[in-house]
């Protein structure tokens, strides 16, 4: 059975009407929302997902980069089944949490001690709390427009418009309405990969920051990687000022067996992890130097940063994580990264063949499409491109890809999973080309630069 999106008579459209009676706006998770209705999944296997109307698509979102091994990998399913039979949650620790921590710890020299939580957002929140506890400072610095989860401080200036950009240096603005002014004032912004501006801001606020939060390849800046010069500057100035460097690897850990830090030679004080380390189940983690992680040590009484959670180190997640990390080996990463470069090249060729311009970047198995004339390097570059029509063009491309058997994100981010190979990359190229031809036929060429 097939149906085109949107189809008011579809099962998904009907479910969305039902959802609106229980969820505000019909959605309980912002990432799944799309207009005019949400598509509902029925099942998924390997790199393909089938919706409730029976439409099968190649999944290039993978639950926003979580499903590194695709859906229903036999090793992960077997691990979950075995653990479910033995219990799904206890108020005791389990050996499995030690086993998963050992597998992660072996990946990078900065991972001296670990602490599990439930999401990447929690990991960032606790990392910032630890930095404050250890430094006695409250301010943090982050790159403008970069996503680090839903913690209030991490969300500051997530999507500022030009009226909020400031003149000489980026101005901090709250993301959610009524964000407390004092909280916003404790977050200082720098442009990603801008060496001169970052040096100026850090010199101006010397000795004030508890932490610098960095993503080494932020999709919201077009997917380009941190430059060596910028990485050296940030590490040099944070050490000079006694500021902790928090590397957000919730997404980028898939780029190498030890994450972006081993790939690019970074040396963070704390790393936040999530997504791929949990085998598809909810997870977050902090890993860092032993002296930094003492902030969570409760053996001498109340920890500087008390941290727990009913579902932290849940045995089901630990079992899936062990299976996932066991599969997550250097040869697998190398194959996926090579396939990722082929995917980027294939999408570029599709745009060229259609006579339309876009910038296709990303690192490793991550692919980022930005409808822009010039390569975007910062959040503001992406904002300007989207405002000029690129954002609408990406949404239109997303909708047409759905009807050509490909699931991609409306933001332009896509990623690969281990069940994929050459046929899936070829299908992606065909789908992008066919979708762009349709857009031109519909008069949407005006949205492109």
List, for residues 356-392, the tens digit of each pLDDT value: 999 999 999 999 999 999 999 999 999 999 999 999 9
Residue 1, pLDDT score:
45
Among 121, 244, 230, which Cα is nearest to 175's?
A: 121
Q: How confident is the model at residue 97 (pLDDT cuts 50, 70, 90)?
A: very high
Q: How confident is the model at residue 176 (pLDDT cuts 50, 70, 90)?
A: confident
As a CATH number, domain 74-327 is 3.40.640.10
Measure CA of the first residue to CA of the last residue in the chain; give whole Å: 37
Residue 169, pLDDT score:
85
Question: Tokens for 45?
Answer: 């296997």
Angle formed by the axes of helices 95-105 and 315-327, nearest 10°: 30
Q: Which contacts of 407-410 are long-range, i.e. CB under 8 A and separated by 24 or more positions?
A: 407/49, 407/57, 407/58, 407/59, 407/60, 407/61, 408/60, 408/61, 408/369, 409/61, 409/64, 410/34
pLDDT top residue among 415 and 164: 415
Asked whether the predicted pLDDT for residue 41 surpasses 90, the reply is yes
pLDDT digits (tens, 9 = 90+) for 268-301: 999 999 999 999 999 999 999 999 999 999 998 9
CA neighbours closer than 13 Å in the CB half-sphere of residue 76: 23
CA neighbours closer than 13 Å in the CB half-sphere of residue 197: 17
Domain map of the chain by residue range?
11-68+329-447, 74-327
Q: How confident is the model at residue 104 (pLDDT cuts 50, 70, 90)?
A: very high
Residue 401, pLDDT score:
98
Q: Are 31 and 380 in contact (CB under 8 A)?
A: no
Exposed / middle / buried, residue 188 (Cβ in 10 Å: 0-12, 13-18, 19+): buried
CATH architecture of 11-68+329-447: Alpha-Beta Complex (3.90)
Asked whether the predicted pLDDT for residue 71 surpasses 50, the reply is yes
What distances in angstroms separate CA 176 from CA 151, 211, 316, 401, one per listed residue?
10, 22, 33, 31
The rounded percent of the chain whose pLDDT value lies above 90 is 94
Asked whether the predicted pLDDT for residue 3 surpasses 90, the reply is no
């Amino acid at each position: 059975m097939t149906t085109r999106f949107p189809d008011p008579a579809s099962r998904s459209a009907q479910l969305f009407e039902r959802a609106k009676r229980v969820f505000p706006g019909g959605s309980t998770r912002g990432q799944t929302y799309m207009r005019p209705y949400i598509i509902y999944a029925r099942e998924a296997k390997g790199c393909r997902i089938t919706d409730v109307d029976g439409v099968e698509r190649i999944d290039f979102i993978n639950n926003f980069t979580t499903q590194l091994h695709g859906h229903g990998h036999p090793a992960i399913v077997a691990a979950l089944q075995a653990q479910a039979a033995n219990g799904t949650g206890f108020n005791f620790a389990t050996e499995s949490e030690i086993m998963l921590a050992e597998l992660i710890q072996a990946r990078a020299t900065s991972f001296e001690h670990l602490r599990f939580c439930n999401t990447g957002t929690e990991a960032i929140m606790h990392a910032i709390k630890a930095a404050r506890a250890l430094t006695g400072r409250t301010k943090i610095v982050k790159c403008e427009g970069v996503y680090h989860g839903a913690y209030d401080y991490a969300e500051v200036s997530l999507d500022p418009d030009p009226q909020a950009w400031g003149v000489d240096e980026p101005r901090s603005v709250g993301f959610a309405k009524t964000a407390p002014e004092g909280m916003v004032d404790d977050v200082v912004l720098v442009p990603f990969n801008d060496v001169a501006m970052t040096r100026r801001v850090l010199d101006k606020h010397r000795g004030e920051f508890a932490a610098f939060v960095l993503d080494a390849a932020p999709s919201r800046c077009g997917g380009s990687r941190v430059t060596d010069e910028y990485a050296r500057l940030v590490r040099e100035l944070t050490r000079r000022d006694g500021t902790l460097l928090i590397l957000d690897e919730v997404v980028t850990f898939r780029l190498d067996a030890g994450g972006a830090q081993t790939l690019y030679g970074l040396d963070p004080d704390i790393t936040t992890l999530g997504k791929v380390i949990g085998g598809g189940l909810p997870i977050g983690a902090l890993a860092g130097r032993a002296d930094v992680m003492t902030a969570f040590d409760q053996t001498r009484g109340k920890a500087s940063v008390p941290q727990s959670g009913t579902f932290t180190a849940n045995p089901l997640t630990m079992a899936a994580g062990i299976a996932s990390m066991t599969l997550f080996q250097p040869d697998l990463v190398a194959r996926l990264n090579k396939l990722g470069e082929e995917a980027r090249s294939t999408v570029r060729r599709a745009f060229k063949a259609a006579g339309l311009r876009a910038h296709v970047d990303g690192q490793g198995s991550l692919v980022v499409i930005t409808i822009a004339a010039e390569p975007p390097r910062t959040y503001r570059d992406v904002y300007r491109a989207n405002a000029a029509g690129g954002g609408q063009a990406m949404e239109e491309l997303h909708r047409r890809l759905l009807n050509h058997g490909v699931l991609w994100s409306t933001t332009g981010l896509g990623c690969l999973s281990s069940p994929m190979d050459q046929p899936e990359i070829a299908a992606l190229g065909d789908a992008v080309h066919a979708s762009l031809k349709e857009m031109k036929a519909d008069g949407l060429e005006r949205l492109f630069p």
